[in-house]
Every structure is written in structure tokens, then in C-alpha cells.
Structure 1
Amino acid sequence: MEKKRGIPHFICEKLPALAIVLSVVIITVLLAAAELPVEGLLADNDALHNLYNVLVAIILLFVIKLWFTPNYKGSLKSSISLGEMIKILIPVVVYAVASEIVTIITGDFVFKPTLTKLCMALNAGFGEETMFRAAAIPIGLMYLKSEKKIAYTLIITSIVFGALHFVNVTGGGAPSVILMQVIATTFMGIYFAALFMISGSILIPIIVHAVWDYLCFVTDGSLENGVMTQDAVNAPLVVAVLFDVAIGIAAIIMIYRNKDRINQIWDEKWSK
């Protein structure tokens, strides 16, 4: 019996780098379009609005899987052991502890948890990981033909992730401060991509991303709806960005050390 091939993906096959970027654009548009029917209904309830976006992102995760069926096995199940999982989470745990210590020393520490901030963090985890990595990374690791496909996929997805945070300027952030945020998110994007590549599960970066953003939202007084609102770059911000750069470098090292494992995981996820 002839093997069922599924939907042909000409752009992925012929122009995989473009396909990676287009996957981000298309999913972003779909997430934005899904908000239109409920925009008026949920305008006064930020928590429900964010939870609705989480639901849409979850649906899109399954759509991505179905779109590449039967060749793609999906990305919900982890391909590594608990011990390996703990190892790749060490950098973000160290970063979180060190970051809070710095804020306590500088006197900038606050703790203001709210339901809305929790829902915002869940929305960031599910929404941004779905937009920037859930489709883009599998496409890159399948369709890029270069031996350096891991590096190219990492570079493209992380730069796009960071660059799109320039839009926060429209939310009232000072350009110099938003530039620092772009640098920070680019390197955090490298880490989130590393989590996905090494584990094979999109749920890992989703959870880590959501937890990380929640910690930022409730302990960083300069953040308002995820936008840095301070007027100028200061020493604590520079230190925070240096932490982000460090975690990105740690992620690059993790990817280099696990290159063969990554290729094996993604060869198993795609039936060629």
C-alpha cells in the first residue's frame, strides 16, 4: 500500500527559511483574528481575555500537528528523561534566584501577584511559544538541508522573537529601554528554543516561559502589561540584560553539546 503523503508543503521544501518566518506571521495573524469576535465582550475583563487567548493557542498547537500529518508526530510528548530535563532547567533556575537576589539588594524588589498577571503569563507562555517556536522550529529542523540547520533555525527564530518586541515602543516604553528588552528577549528566545529542541516538547518552553513571565510581572515594578515603562536605562536593567545574555550563551552551549541528540529526536518526530 502506498504511504499517504498528506498536504504538500512547497514553501517549506523550496524556501524553508521563508517558511519559518511565514509560520510566525501566519500564526500571529490567526491569534489576532481570533480576538476580533470577543474583543468587545472581554474588553473589561483582562483575565478572561488572556485565558481566551490561551485556549486559541492550544487549538493552534493541534492545528499545527494536523497540518503536517501524517509526517509529523507532534511536539507535546517529551523525548528526554526527568534527569535530563532537570539539567536543561538549571540555567533558568539559577537565573531566577540570582535575579531576585539582585532586586532585593538594589531595593527594587516588589511582590504584587494578581489573577490578571497570572493569566497574562499563561497567555505569554502559550501564545508566544505557539507563535515563535511551535511551527517554526519543526519546520527548520525538517526542511533546512544544511548541516547547520540547528544553528540557522535557532538564529532565525530568536532574532524574529526579539525584534518583534520593538512593538512595545507603541505601549509607552522609552526606545532605549525597549532596545534593552529586545536584546533580553532575543537571548531568552535562544533558551526557549533550546528547551524545545533538546526536549522535543513544546510544553517545556511554554511552562518555563509562563513561570518566568509571571515572576517578572509580580516582582518587577517597572513592567506594565509586559512593557518596560521606566524612562531610561539604568544599572539594574543592564545587569538584568546581562543575565539574559548569559542564559542565551548557556543555551547555545547546551545545544552544541546535545547536537546529535537533537538530530535524533527530530528525525524520530518526522517520518521521512
Structure 2
Amino acid sequence: MHSALNAPLKGSPLDAKDRDFLATLETRRKGIHSALCNNFDTATAMNHLFALIRKCNEYLSSTSSTLLLRSALYYIQKMLKVFGIEEKQVSSSSDNAPLLDTWCSFRTEVRKEAIKSKNTNILNLCDKVRDEDLPKIGVRVEDDGKTAWKLGNPEEIIAAIEEKKRVAREQALKKKQSKRADLVKKITNYKNWAANPNDLFKEYPKPENGIIPTIGLDGKPIGKKQGQKLEKLYKTAIKNNELYKAELAKDSEFLTKLEEQVHQLDKEIEEMKN
């Protein structure tokens, strides 16, 4: 039951604050163990558990060890199982409100610290509690801005969470598909811009002076308005060609790398569809 706390701690040395927190973990663990051995004194055990959660919140107010927090979180989860919180649906009794309020507050602070430290393991654990453990007992937790919980039918909560995940997957898929389309368009543009602007009108009869055609493909003189359009087209081609050359100067393999990104997105999109 207490393996998470008894496991050896690895990583950077613990400072005074960490040692104090670790000592509190051990004290509360022993208190809970003693209470449960004393004819299963639930009230005393829960008091120790609440005190431990409050200590966790206090510990989170400053720089803290994610390893110690993870140990505490594992232990608290295990004790909640001991008290049956993952084996039966929570009733609407107000007796459960303090526990759920405190638990959600603790989870919120742990999640904030995990985001700050980019600890994906703890973030995944927080998500598991929200999406798998609590729904089974009829508790739905929302992380929209301020974390809040609601009681409900477990099957309905689980179905709602699955639907939310489905919508999120669809949105993520569309986002990747849009990114792929943008990359393909970008690659196509750069390949077109690589062409010499002076070759833009090579199919037209060559003018006596300059680059802009004066005679159309039909052999008739080009009017002033049409000539202005061709001149604008030529200037745009020069500008785009300069953009291409600038990218090429920075990285001669930039087009290949963009194409590799497209191939990687193709793989990710295919995985998301399966």
C-alpha cells in the first residue's frame, strides 16, 4: 500500500522544505495506518488524509519536487481506493463535498505545477483521475478555467467524456490536415517562384525593347490596360523569385525539409484516422 512513499528518491538533493514535506508524508501515512488498524477508525484516517492534502497545497505554493508530489498523489489515490471511493458511486450527500472539494483543489495545484515543469507523467495521471477514475463513481471534473466537479450518472458522464474526446480528435485531425494543405501550397508556390521572371513571357513575341510584351499571342498589339496587367505580373514574379532565392540562401535544402514535414504529417494523419 505504501510502496510509492517507501521507494528510494532519485534526482537532485532534497532541501529543508523537501525534507519537511517528506517527513509530513511519513507522519500522516503512519497516522492513517494506525487509525485503520484501530478498528478501522475512518474519521481519524480521513483527518490525516485531509491534513496531508492541505500540506501538499502548501508545498505547491513554492518550488517543489515533482517526485515527492507524485509519491503523495499515488498514496492519496491508493487511500481513496481503501475508503471505497473508486468502487461505488458517490452519493449526493453533502458529506462528500469537502472530500471532493479538497481533492479537486489538490489535483488542480498538482496539474499547474506539472504544466509549469512540463512533467507529462503527472499530467497524464491527473487526466486519468479526471477521465477514468472519478467518472466511475459518478463524479465529473471540468478543467475549463476553474476546476469544478459535479455528481451524475457514471454511464452518462463516461459517455459525455468519450464524446468530448471524439470531438477533440476530429478537431486535431482537421488542424493537421489544414497544416498539411498550407505546407503543400507553400511548396508549390516556392517551386513556381524558382522560375526566372524573364521567362514569364517567353511564349509571347519578343518585344523590341524591355521584357513586357507589346504584341499578344494572337498577333495583335497589346492595349495599355493589358500591358499594365502584364507589367504588374512581371513585378510580382520578380518579388516572389527574390523570396525564393532568400530562402535558398538560408538553407539550400529548405524545400526538401518542407516535403519531409508533409510526409510526417501524412503519417500522423493516418494514425489519427485509425
Q: TM-score, normalised by structure 1?
A: 0.32
Larger Cα-atom Rg: 2
Of structures 1 and 2, the one scoring higher in RCO (CA 8 A, sep 6+) is 1
Q: TM-score, normalised by structure 2?
A: 0.31
